[in-house]
């Protein structure tokens, strides 16, 4: 297993277009997170899945954002009608169940979105 992967790594789109990002977590990880990171800031929580269930969603996530994890494995994050303020790095992380430190989140390399 090579870790958490994200696709694409970079996406440039025009304002108003829809974009979709994919995250493939580490295979045995049942928990999956999406974060957004802008310049000079830390990762900002967007949403959390346990298996296929979306258990928490940030209030910062407008109705234009939707995330799915249909089979409890890979996940997609879609942004509809993109705005320039959506330009950011979108990070995915996964982890297993359990309170031990070795169960902490493993992050993917991120998808950098630029909205023109």
- Distance in angstroms (rounded) separating the CA atoms of residues 18 and 14: 9
One residue of 67, 79, 88, 93 binding other proteins per CB under 8 A: 93
Rule CB under 8 A: say whether 101 interacts with other proteins. yes
One residue of 77, 79, 91, 115 binding other proteins per CB under 8 A: 91
One residue of 13, 20, 30, 58 binding other proteins per CB under 8 A: 58
- Distance in angstroms (rounded) separating the CA atoms of residues 36 and 65: 12
At residue 66, the 3 state secondary structure works out as strand
Rule CB under 8 A: say whether 67 interacts with other proteins. no
Q: Which stretch binds other proteins (CB under 8 A): 14-22, 69-77, 78-86, 102-110?
A: 102-110
Residue 27-56 contact track with other proteins, rule CB under 8 A, x = bound? ----x-x-x----xxxxxx--x-x----xx
Integer CA distances (angstroms), 20 to 32, 42, 68, 104, 105, in order:
17, 22, 11, 26, 22
- Distance in angstroms (rounded) separating the CA atoms of residues 102 and 116: 40
- Distance in angstroms (rounded) separating the CA atoms of residues 115 and 29: 31
Contacts with other proteins by CB under 8 A lie at 4, 31, 33, 35, 40-45, 48, 50, 55-56, 58, 91, 93, 101, 104-110
């Amino acid at each position: 297993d090579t870790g958490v992967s994200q696709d694409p790594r970079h996406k440039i789109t025009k304002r108003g277009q829809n974009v979709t990002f994919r995250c493939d977590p580490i295979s045995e990880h049942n928990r999956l997170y999406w974060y957004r990171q802008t310049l000079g800031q830390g990762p900002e929580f967007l949403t959390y899945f346990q298996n296929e269930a979306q258990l928490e969603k940030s209030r910062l996530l407008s109705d234009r954002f939707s995330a799915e994890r249909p089979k409890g494995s890979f996940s997609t994050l879609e942004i509809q009608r993109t705005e320039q303020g959506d330009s950011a790095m979108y990070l995915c992380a996964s982890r297993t169940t359990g309170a031990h430190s070795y169960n902490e989140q493993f992050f993917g390399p991120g998808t950098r979105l630029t909205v023109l």
